[in-house]
Structure 1
Amino acid sequence: MYKYPVYQPALIGKEQEYVLDCLQSNWISSKGEYIGRFEEAFAASLKIKHATSVCNGTVALHLAMLALGIGPGDEVITPTLTYIASVNSISYVGATPVFCDSEKSTWQMDPALIEGKITKNTKAILVVHLYGQATNMAEVMQLAKKHGLFVIEDCAEAIGTKFLGKAVGTFGDISTFSFFGNKTITTGEGGMVVTNDETLFERCKHFKGQGLAKHREYWHDVVGYNFRMTNIAAAIGLAQLENLSYFVEEKQRVADTYIKNIDLSKYEYQERQTDRFHTYWMFSILVKNAEDREGLRAHLKMNKIETRPLFYPVHTMPMYSQRFQRHIVAEDLGWRGINLPSYPALLDEQIVEICQILNSYGN
């Protein structure tokens, strides 16, 4: 058992009340009032027109690909430094991921490298707002407009994150969110697809509900999927969303306390940028040398502090490494990075203790 797990959800609102209401009403599956309430409240929180709930963040990405009509022969440019689900969603529809390196300063996909990746087969750019930081959406959208490309935003780790004062998830053609148990708000398992485009919204609803025709009962006119969220999950999500501002504020406090107490002669961290609001889903550091990382993680584990490695660049994984590539910044970050405990209930004095143990390594 860890004294300080890397993450734990904060169920501090009306989760129990809303779930009990579902149970008492017998609306526990993919119909019920909380689904609509959660979708409407989520869209309103982003100031976007449409939101449709799904059963997890991975299928949210898959659904976005389906709605855009991306398929075999198409290429999608994506960061290599991301969670595997981002890239797998491209493969699910038979398209080809084209990997892009990261910026040293932000750890996000480097927009300066995107244009060199565009070919006649490029259909979309998949942006991932990694660890609560925002990608430079001004440059991404400019390139997409210039070349007639779709933009998908993967905001699984970035609810509440902003670029130039505007919420991520509202720049692209379609965007996705995850509500897994370690996300800023959770439904246990769950996700959301959002868009300002009415046609994309209708296509998402069509595909996620088994391809059921709109005006004929039990008639299916496309090969659909069962990607629907349950009413119970939506009830939890609505209660969580009601406390989003509190969770984001606590994330800022956790990050600030780490920054004040870690030894910056030993470690780097993912810094805030003046043009964006970083929500610090995970507070992450870099060791000086890649060979030091596992020793530090073992030291922290011995002191009952759980950590995670930064995501390994996807182009280095067996199923995506058939063609040798180098993405130097992503590889460097991936080999040196560690996620530290980052949950809202973590007290300042506990973070100070973690930092003391962190700073003592190698002394």
Structure 2
Amino acid sequence: MKQKLKLNKVNFFPVSKPTISKQDILAVNKTLKNGWISSNGPEINKFEKEFSKLVSRKYSTTVSNGTAALEVAIKALGITKDDEVLIPNFTIISNALAVLRQQATPVLIDCNLENWNIKIEDIEKKITKKTKAIIITHIYSFPNDMDKILKICKKYNILVIEDAAELIGSNYKNKKCGSFGDISTFSFYANKQITTGEGGMISTNSVSLYEKCNSLKNLCFGSIDRFNHVDIGWNYRMTNMQAALGLSQLKNIKVTVKKKIEIGNRYYKELHKNKNIQILPPSNNYSKNIYWIIGILVKNKKINVKKITNKLLSFGIQTRPFFWPMNEQKIFKKLKIFDNKNNKYPNSQHLSRNGFYLPSYLELKNNEIDYICNIVNKVIR
């Protein structure tokens, strides 16, 4: 008999929802009672120090969100309008915006079809005399193969910005994601492993970069005359209330990652035999999949993905499409940022049109995952 499910608060499965514990609430309430509610407060410093330990960095500074982290990092590295910065074509638009903010030129690299990260074999093809840096964004589940990338960057003396927003708590080999390159950035949006509602972090081992980022996120106040500003900066500060939430959530990161892996492994067990679907495996030769999101790619080109996601929604299963490629963004086409005539990105195009997320929040029960997988296997066949 065909299963039916009415949409209601009980059996609607959103793609994501934050897990907020009683301890989290108490931590935030404490800042309210103490009056430490703005960007000054003891939790800010504690959060930065504890996060540095998590990602094996010497220094970290909080910011208002992950996009702000990228913008501050790019400027702190001294990137200007004469520079080119390599970025993935298959990623969030923030990567390109951070480069454009400094009037530099973003140069796109296609993704691979194995784990959806940047196509490493194409990196050297895009390097020119103007190439100053590369943004390495870990996409969805697996980290990039950092050893190979760092070798290329060392050869050409290219700065590395590691965007680890989606893989907080994950490892590349025996090292933490976010511990590589000159500077790394993170997001604490509501769907991340650690959330502060909105928020982000910049981490580095360089004291000069750390001090520059601290200044840029805080309007570049003067050291002698406070309101005589020394550079063009931003008000990208995090509040002490947010830091209190982040600090509380940080204490549970191992439990969160473990639960994410359990959810992902169950999805993989139920879906990987479906010949019309690609779901990434639990591990590869250098990392475990922590399944930040449960992404599936419909391989059969005859299947209409939009109809599939609408059908899943009728069963109470919310989905979300994959990233849209940078070269196909409406605003970038309008501004003629990228040369689409002479550069093609077939893998990014394929993923963006045929991939979507499934629910993966921590409260999902095994029988609910089984239900979702059962419906997915029925409608994608």
Q: TM-score, normalised by structure 2?
A: 0.92
Quote the Cα distance in structure 2 between the aligned partners of 1:334 and 1:362.
Answer: 18
User: 2:36 matched to 1:20?
Assistant: no
Q: Read off the aligned partner of 1:335 and give its amino acid letter.
A: R
Tell me which moved more, 174-183 or 328-337: 328-337
**Aligned with residue 364 of structure 2, among 342, 346, 357:** 346
Q: Read off the aligned partner of 1:351 and give its amino acid letter.
A: I
Give the fraction of aligned pairs with identical amino acids, expressed as a percent. Answer: 37
- Contact 2:188/2:197 (CA < 8 Å) preserved in 1? yes
2:321 match: 309
Structure 1: runs of 5+ lacking an equivalent: none
1:277 match: 288
Q: Read off the aligned partner of 1:266 and give its amino acid letter.
A: N
Quote the Cα distance in structure 2 between the aligned partners of 1:30 and 1:187.
Answer: 13
Quote the Cα distance in structure 2 between the aligned partners of 1:87 and 1:68.
Answer: 16
2:5 match: none
1:85 Cα deviation (Å)? 1.1
**Aligned with residue 300 of structure 2, among 289, 308, 312:** 289
Tell me which moved more, 98-107 or 290-299: 290-299
Deviation digits for residues 52-99 of structure 1 (CA, Å, limit 9, x no counterpart): 000111100000001001121211101100011121111111111100
1:13 Cα deviation (Å)? 5.2
Q: How does 1:127-166 map to 2 (within 5 A)?
A: 127-166=136-175
Structure 2: runs of 5+ lacking an equivalent: 1-7
- Contact 2:268/2:280 (CA < 8 Å) preserved in 1? no
Q: How does 1:7-46 map to 2 (within 5 A)?
A: 7-12=16-21, 14-46=23-55
2:349 match: 331
Quote the Cα distance in structure 2 between the aligned partners of 1:13 and 1:236.
Answer: 11
- Contact 2:31/2:37 (CA < 8 Å) preserved in 1? yes
Quote the Cα distance in structure 2 between the aligned partners of 1:50 and 1:128.
Answer: 20
Quote the Cα distance in structure 1 between the aligned partners of 2:101 and 2:365.
Answer: 41
- Contact 1:162/1:278 (CA < 8 Å) preserved in 2? no
**Aligned with residue 74 of structure 1, among 77, 83, 90:** 83
1:362 Cα deviation (Å)? 5.2
Tell me which moved more, 327-336 or 171-180: 327-336
> What is the number of equivalent residue pairs in this alignment?
363
Deviation digits for residues 152-180 of structure 1 (CA, Å, limit 9, x no counterpart): 01111110121112111111100100001
* SS at structure 2 position matched to 1:356: helix
**Aligned with residue 107 of structure 2, among 98, 102, 109:** 98
* SS at structure 2 position matched to 1:131: coil
Quote the Cα distance in structure 1 between the aligned partners of 2:223 and 2:22.
Answer: 36
Deviation digits for residues 99-136 of structure 1 (CA, Å, limit 9, x no counterpart): 00112111100111101100111110100000131011
1:25 Cα deviation (Å)? 0.8
Q: How does 1:49-88 map to 2 (within 5 A)?
A: 49-88=58-97
Q: Read off the aligned partner of 1:346 and give its amino acid letter.
A: L
Quote the Cα distance in structure 1 between the aligned partners of 2:169 and 2:232.
Answer: 34
Quote the Cα distance in structure 1 between the aligned partners of 2:93 and 2:276.
Answer: 29
Quote the Cα distance in structure 2 between the aligned partners of 1:151 and 1:6.
Answer: 32
Deviation digits for residues 240-283 of structure 1 (CA, Å, limit 9, x no counterpart): 11111111001101101101112422211123312113221101
Quote the Cα distance in structure 1 between the aligned partners of 2:22 and 2:258.
Answer: 16
For the aligned residue pairs, the C-alpha RMSD in angstroms reads 1.3
Cα separation, partners in 2 of 1:98 and 1:32, compared to 1, 3 Å: same
